[in-house]
């Protein structure tokens, strides 16, 4: 990860001052404030601001003035109940604002989650840095033969090196042409808003991303999943570590019911009941499609 001296100085300055406040703070989140967490080769995630904690979720659910005589165990039980029964609004009482530096092709996936406030670095007004995402060898894989959206076997030896050379050469050449086209040093050139269109999808961009906890959990459920593309999963896993420290009770419930849980269809429930009753159920007698049956057997045998 590359931080400019100005960025490092800004982070050091922000972390050098504390401010008294009457609002609720989360000790675990305070440790993350402003610090940059490295993701991929040049990416980062850092917390700019946040609101709320585990107690705020419970307070919203109870609509009370404060914790009162409730014990932590009561809060944990309530949060687990809310998560188990898919309640959303209490979790919306917590918000976080993140600064994320990420490759453009990851940003295009990320922006599909339309339940956040986003402000992205503008290449119409500023010049993008010469920074590109180049996969590490262990993440350089061929197209999967069974999943149109996924990766298959790792590329090896000369083939892996050939692909890495192409990625680096193309990215470098594109940026060289980008710089050459720009208006610089008083010379006429192409407008920034046009010159940027020549840049590859692995160039890094940055944005501020503000989201409530309910929608953040939805993002993490999809993007921290083992089936998600590695590059966006790396960001999701970094955010998971932050959220775990911010709202430990809510994150534990999320991890249990969402990341570690499964959703069963009515047909799947019926098959499990028939199996428990001793019946041998086949795909043909289950009422499931071949794809659904394959997924069912992967979980239940």
Question: Catalytic residue numbers?
Answer: 223
3-class state of residue 123 by DSSP: coil
CA distance 235 to 98: 11
Token representation of residue 21: 């406040």
Question: CB-based burial of residue 73 (10 Å sphere; 0-12 exposed, 13-18 middle, 19+ buried)?
Answer: exposed
Long-range (24+ apart) CB contacts under 8 A made by 169-175 are 170/200, 171/132, 171/134, 171/200, 171/202, 171/203, 172/132, 174/198, 174/199, 174/200, 175/130, 175/132, 175/199, 175/203
CA distance 167 to 19: 46
Contacts of 100 (CB under 8 A, 6+ apart): 43, 44, 45, 110, 206, 207, 208, 209, 235
CA distance 68 to 249: 18
CA distance 178 to 255: 44
**What are the C-alpha distances in Å from 83 to residues 44, 54, 86, 90, 112?**
29, 13, 5, 10, 24
Q: Side by side, which strands form the sheet with 117-120? A: 37-39, 43-51, 95-103, 204-212, 117-120
CA distance 144 to 180: 38
Q: Are 66 and 24 in contact (CB under 8 A)?
A: no
């Amino acid at each position: 990860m590359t931080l400019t001296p100005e960025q490092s100085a800004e982070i050091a300055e922000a972390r050098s001052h504390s401010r008294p406040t009457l609002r609720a703070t989360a000790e675990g989140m305070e440790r993350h404030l402003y610090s940059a967490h490295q993701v991929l080769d040049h990416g980062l995630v850092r917390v700019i601001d946040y609101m709320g904690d585990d107690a705020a979720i419970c307070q919203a659910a109870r609509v009370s003035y404060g914790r009162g005589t409730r014990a932590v165990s009561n809060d944990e039980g309530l949060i687990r109940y809310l998560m188990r029964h898919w309640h959303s609004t209490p979790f919306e009482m917590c918000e976080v604002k993140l600064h994320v530096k990420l490759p453009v092709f990851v940003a295009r996936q990320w922006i599909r989650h339309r339940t956040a406030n986003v402000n992205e670095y503008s290449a119409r007004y500023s010049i993008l840095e010469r920074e590109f995402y180049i996969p590490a060898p262990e993440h350089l894989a061929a197209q999967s033969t069974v999943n149109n959206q996924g990766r298959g076997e790792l590329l090896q030896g000369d083939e892996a090196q050939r692909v890495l050379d192409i990625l680096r050469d193309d990215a470098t050449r594109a940026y060289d042409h980008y710089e050459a086209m720009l208006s610089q040093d008083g010379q006429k050139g192409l407008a920034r808003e046009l010159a940027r269109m020549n840049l590859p999808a692995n160039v890094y961009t940055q944005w501020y991303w503000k989201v409530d906890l309910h929608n953040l959990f939805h993002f993490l459920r999809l993007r921290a999943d083992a089936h998600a593309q590695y590059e966006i999963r790396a960001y999701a896993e970094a955010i998971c570590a932050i959220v775990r420290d911010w709202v430990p009770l809510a994150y534990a419930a999320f991890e249990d019911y969402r990341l570690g849980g499964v959703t069963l269809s009515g047909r799947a429930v019926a098959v499990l009941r028939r199996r428990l009753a001793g019946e041998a159920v086949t795909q043909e007698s289950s009422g499931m499609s071949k794809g659904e049956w394959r997924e069912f057997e992967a979980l239940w045998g």
